[in-house]
Amino acid sequence: MILNGVAIDDEFAEAFGMKATRIIITAQNLTWAYHAANTATGFATSVIACGCEAGVERELTPAETPDGRPGVSILIFAVSGKELAKQIERRIGQCVLTSPTSAAFAGIGGGEPVALGQNLRFFGDGFQSSKLIAGRRYWRVPVMDGEFLVEETTSVVSAVGGGNFLILAETQPQALTACEAAIAAMKKVPNVIMPFPGGVVRSGSKVGSRYKALSASTNDAFCPTIRGITKSQLGPEIGAVMEIVIDGLTAPDIAASMKAGIQAIVDLGAKAGVRRISAGNYGGKLGKFHFRLREIMAS
């Protein structure tokens, strides 16, 4: 399949089941909502070493937030509900409770309830108080700038993590420009995050390593500077490869996001230096979810 001069490989992205939640963070203004949200979703690129994968999903108008203030929604993904609960408490406690004027609310329902402010309330040292409003319990924790308002629980739902595609371009700047266009389009798709810096990862990995201590190592088949000495998947026209990883609440959300991103790159076309789109997988035996590039682009 060739779209606007860009070859779409007959490959598929292999993704895994995860647990996820959405949290709404509000503040006096959008700047401070972002300060809290960006801190809470920092160092959350991969479950391999961060405990979770997290990112800002979208901005919310005052009419969309529970307390009528500007806010953003974040999504947090982890490999288990237990690990997710631990990450929620740490990140909201250290990054949102601490952020001036902030408040935090559950942004999703229907799943297993886990603590959001249920334990953070004890920071109030006995001066905290709760309110049951429209069937949902909120905690008011006294802090130095007023009150930290936090909902007691949020919901954990089943989700999908590890959707991806690779952008193969002639040069590094061209690959990055294409990724930026893709991320801009993908940010308009709800229910997904791209957890790596700026949404893009340049250190795609393969399973295993020649070093016993490492379970994963650089994906040498896609590293252009060693293509002469490894079993490379790159032709001579490829000078840089970048990857976009997607976590989503459902498989269709990830498929929609991948389509939006790839389409944005295809719109740039081969004249922008993008030659191929591929995807990362483990042979199809590890992940429950397979996203076939050509099927997604043909749909």
Q: Which stretches of the chain bind other proteins, using CB under 8 A?
A: 26, 62, 66-69, 103, 127, 129, 131-134, 138, 140, 146-147, 149
Query: Min. distance of Cβ 277 from other proteins in angstroms?
Result: 45
Residue type, 284: G
Length of the chain (residues): 299
Given the complex with other proteins, which of 101 and 232 has the nearer CB atom?
Answer: 101
Given the complex with other proteins, which of 135 and 228 has the nearer CB atom?
Answer: 135
Both tokens of residue 62? 């005052």
- Burial of 223-248, coded b for 16+ CB within 10 Å and e otherwise, reads beeebeeeeebbeeebbbbbbbbbbb
Strands 240-248 and 12-26: unpaired
> Can you tell me the distance from the alpha carbon of 65 to that of 220, in angstroms, rounded to the nearest whole number?
45
Q: State the burial class of residue 288 (Cβ atoms within 10 Å of its Cβ: 0-12, 13-18, 19+).
A: exposed
Contact 68, 49 (CB under 8 A): no
Query: Min. distance of Cβ 36 from other proteins in angstroms?
Result: 14
Both tokens of residue 133? 């409003």
Given the complex with other proteins, which of 126 and 228 has the nearer CB atom?
Answer: 126
Query: Min. distance of Cβ 147 from other proteins in angstroms?
Result: 6
DSSP string, 106-172: E---SSEEEESSTTGGGGGTT--EEEEETTEEEEEEEETTEEEEEESEEEEEEEEEEEEEEEEESSH
Query: Min. distance of Cβ 54 from other proteins in angstroms?
Result: 24
Given the complex with other proteins, which of 142 and 208 has the nearer CB atom?
Answer: 142
Query: Min. distance of Cβ 105 from other proteins in angstroms?
Result: 9
Given the complex with other proteins, which of 92 and 200 has the nearer CB atom?
Answer: 92
Query: Min. distance of Cβ 150 from other proteins in angstroms?
Result: 10
> Can you tell me the distance from the alpha carbon of 112 to that of 132, in angstroms, rounded to the nearest whole number?
19
Both tokens of residue 268? 């740039």
Given the complex with other proteins, which of 99 and 233 has the nearer CB atom?
Answer: 99
Both tokens of residue 81? 């509900």
Query: Min. distance of Cβ 96 from other proteins in angstroms?
Result: 14
Given the complex with other proteins, which of 55 and 66 has the nearer CB atom?
Answer: 66
